[in-house]
């Protein structure tokens, strides 16, 4: 098991939380629920409306999309990754299913608690906007490259 102070140190390693004050990170860790999952167990399903984020304390997950009844692993997230955070900011269904790859221990970060903390911390809000903007730029670049590769064949 991890201690509250260890969880704060681990959360600080996530770009979303890197500029958040120690006291606020400690409160975030304290109010988050530890949840365990067994190998292959679903954390959440594509299309579900859950709005919480998860931080991997121990283990790994596969991110899986389903189209026309076919599943495809689109990402594998290692220990100390954050996932599901987009649902905190957008009222959209989950875009993928996340499944434990081996035994998994997470911190489930409640949407309302997360939003409350960043509303009290403008520096953290700005950092989150930077991270999301960089992700959007990377996704746009990846999509452009994939379309160019497809069109060149």
pLDDT of residue 33: 95
Query: Domains in the chain: how many in total?
Result: 1
Strands in the chain per DSSP E:
33-37, 42-44, 53-58, 61-67, 70-77, 82-83, 97-100, 104-109
- pLDDT confidence of residue 1: 62
Instruction: Answer whether residue 87 shows pLDDT above 90.
Output: no
State the pLDDT confidence band at 99, using cuts at 50, 70 and 90.
Answer: very high
pLDDT in tens, 111-122: 998 888 888 878
CATH number at residue 139: 2.60.120.10
Residue 121 domain boundaries: 4-151
pLDDT for 61 beyond 90:
yes
Q: Are 74 and 64 in contact (CB under 8 A)?
A: yes
């Amino acid at each position: 098991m991890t201690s509250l102070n260890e969880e704060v140190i681990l959360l600080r390693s996530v770009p979303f939380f890197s500029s958040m004050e120690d006291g606020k990170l400690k409160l975030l860790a304290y109010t988050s629920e530890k949840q365990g999952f067994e190998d292959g167990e679903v954390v959440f399903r594509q299309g579900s409306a859950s709005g919480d984020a998860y931080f991997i304390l121990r283990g790994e997950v596969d991110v899986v999309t389903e189209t026309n009844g076919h599943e495809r692993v689109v990402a594998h997230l290692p220990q100390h990754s954050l996932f599901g955070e987009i649902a905190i900011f957008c009222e959209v269904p989950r875009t993928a299913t996340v499944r434990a790859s081996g035994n998994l221990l997470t911190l489930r970060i409640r949407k309302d608690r997360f939003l409350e903390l960043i509303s009290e911390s403008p520096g953290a809000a700005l950092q989150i906007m930077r991270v999301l903007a960089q992700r959007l730029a990377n996704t746009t670049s990846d999509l452009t490259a994939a379309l160019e590769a497809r069109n060149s064949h």
